[in-house]
Structures are given as structure tokens and as C-alpha cells.
Structure 1
């Protein structure tokens, strides 16, 4: 996935997050469903940001950014902040 494609995915996920919050405010979904869906969206966003960081690091240090690959959610979510 190119950097452009990854950024497009980020935009789409952020839009989905906003739609989800609107549904909650409108009473279309309950807070438990909102939390579950938000967790999934946040995990996907974390994977995208990780992929972008990998691509940029590879470019900066002479590697091929196309060699970057999305890592599993468990890996990305396990990073220390």
C-alpha cells in the first residue's frame, strides 16, 4: 500500500469514527456498541500510522518504502508509548 493509499485509509477511518460518534449521539447505537467499534477503528488507525512510520523510515535510510508491511494489531498495540 502506497503512502497516498495509507493516508486515504486514515481519512476514511477518521470519517467512520466521526459517523460512529454521531450515531451514538443520535441514539442509533448504544455505548457498548460504540466502544467495540471505536476499538476496532483505533486499532486500524494505529496500524496505518505504524505503516506510514515504517515507510518513511525506510525512505530516510535508503530502503525501499514498498518493503514496509502492516504489522499485526497485537504487535502495534503492544508498543510502549
Structure 2
């Protein structure tokens, strides 16, 4: 079961990995690829957390929130 805390834990792990990859100086090509993946995963996790909070705020079940595809979440940022 997904909870707000489990989503936050995932975000924290991704941020820690991102910081670790940047801390070694100029990232290698594989590290840059992973950093892009982390960016997308973070966007999706934050989106899920926002969905859960909004559902709760409006009296809906936060467990009905779904992890949206990366393409959908990424287009929100570009608007």
C-alpha cells in the first residue's frame, strides 16, 4: 500500500542518490543518464504526493491516486 510517508521516503532516497552523483564532480555519461532518470522519477513521485494530498483535502480517498506516466507528468512542467 502506498502512503504519503512511503512516497516521501522514495523522494528522499532519490534526492540522496542525486546528491551523491553530483558530489563527485563532473558526472560520467552513465551518471548523467541516471540523473535524468532520477529527475523524471522525482517529478512522478511529487505528482503522486500532490494527488494524494488533493484527494484527501477534498474528501476523496488518497489511495485512489495513481502514479502517472512520465510523459504526462513531464508536460506539466513545460507549461
- Corresponding residue SS for 1:71: coil
Match of 1:43 in 2: 40
Question: Could you tell me the TM-score, scaled by structure 2's length?
Answer: 0.88
Query: How far, CA to CA, are the matches of 2:35 and 2:74 in structure 1?
Result: 14
Structure 1 residue ranges without an equivalent (≥5): none
Structure 2 residue ranges without an equivalent (≥5): none
Quote the RMSD (CA, aligned, Å): 1.5
- Corresponding residue SS for 1:69: coil
Query: How far, CA to CA, are the matches of 1:70 and 1:20 in structure 2?
Result: 25
- Corresponding residue SS for 1:8: helix
Which moves more between the two structures, 40-49 or 14-23? 14-23
- Output one character per residue of 1:37-77: Cα deviation in whole Å (capped at 9) or x when no partner: 11100000000100011001100101000110100000100
Match of 1:14 in 2: 15
After TM superposition, the runs of 4+ consecutive aligned structure 1 residues lying more than 6 A away are none
- Corresponding residue SS for 1:20: helix
Match of 2:57 in 1: 60
